[in-house]
Amino acid sequence: MAKDTVFTKKKTLNCRGKLLDLSTPVVMGILNLTPDSFYDGGELTTIDAAITKCSKMLNDGAAIIDIGAYSSRPGAEDISEEEELKRLLPYLKELVISFPDAVFSVDTFRATVAKTAIENGAAIINDISGQPHPQPLSKGEGSNASMFELVASLGVPYILMHIKGTPQTMQQNLQEGKILNDVMYYFSERLNNLHRLGVNDIILDPGFGFGKTIEQNYELLREFEQFKMFDKPLLAGVSRKSMINKVLGTKPENALNGTTVLNTLLLERGADILRVHDVKEAVEAVQLVLNSSL
């Protein structure tokens, strides 16, 4: 792979005064505060445990820590906005104090939760819903009716992800067939809306596993480089997901090797951010892919 094929353009994100350099790929570490996430749900039951895990991920080379308090696994419980904030805020506040130089993103589809998190030290909004219209994602009282407007008013980077349905419904009645064009149109429409509002720091995530068949996930992986046409940083989140396990006959706890293989392929196709459970291995993948392009 020639060096000028992927990793040459200067890319930076302004994360509340901290400049995040994406001219070479970086790793986002997952910090789940949920009891029911598909891999590590219920692991962090105390703030001290979260601090310990966050410290390890940062020491292993994570550039971003992604904190989520609402499980988005298929069929996950739809908790209230109040419960999401109750889970999130005590941890976020302590983590920001403990790691003042770290960049934290908040994984939420609710504008109220996102706003509160940014006010308490988060710097990036990671929104799985991507909805441009006033439309609740769930039956709870929270929705992202004003998420795009909120992002514009706060001036923070925004991760726009593709999803079909909701976490509760996305893997039901899946439609077979090609999906790349659908995802491209989805991004085009929403980018137009965001740009009209003055939002420019946008990261695109095709949403591996969110309302897609195994074949569609691999189509998006094969065609991942096509998303470079939008001239935005690209995020890939395949860590320990079913697109690995259903092919190899493994379970999430045995899917680290498969994750590394797919992360390597995605880096070669232009991924700027790898969202992972295992930071050290992802950082090593980045280093090796970069070295192979010299």
- What is the rounded distance in angstroms from the CA atom of residue 228 to the CA atom of residue 105? 23
Catalytic residue among 87, 115, 232, 275: 275
DSSP, res 145 = T
| Among the listed residues 19, 46, 29, the one whose alpha carbon sits nearest the alpha carbon of residue 101 | 19
> Dihedral (C-alpha) 133, 68, 117, 25: value to the nearest 10 degrees?
-90
Distances (CA, A) of 95 to 33, 34, 53, 87, 170: 12, 16, 11, 13, 32
Q: How far apart are the first and last CA of the chain?
A: 9
Say yes or no: domain 22-288 is CATH 2.170.8.10. no
Q: Is 241 a catalytic residue?
A: yes
- What is the rounded distance in angstroms from the CA atom of residue 43 to the CA atom of residue 253? 13
pLDDT at res. 93: 97
Distances (CA, A) of 29 to 56, 164, 274: 10, 24, 8
- What is the rounded distance in angstroms from the CA atom of residue 243 to the CA atom of residue 257? 13
- Which residues in the chain show pLDDT less than 50? 1-8, 38-39, 41, 133-144, 170
pLDDT at res. 75: 58
Angle at 267 between CA 231 and CA 205, to 5 degrees: 50
Catalytic residue among 241, 246, 269, 280: 241
Q: Is 275 a catalytic residue?
A: yes
Largest CA distance in the chain: 51
Name residue 27's beta-bridge partners.
274
The first and second tokens of residue 256, run together, are 């680290």
Task: Sort 37 into a burial class: Cβ within 10 Å, 0-12 / 13-18 / 19+.
Answer: buried
pLDDT at res. 113: 93
pLDDT tens per residue, range 188-212: 999 999 999 999 899 999 999 988 9
- Sequence spans of domains, the chain: 22-288
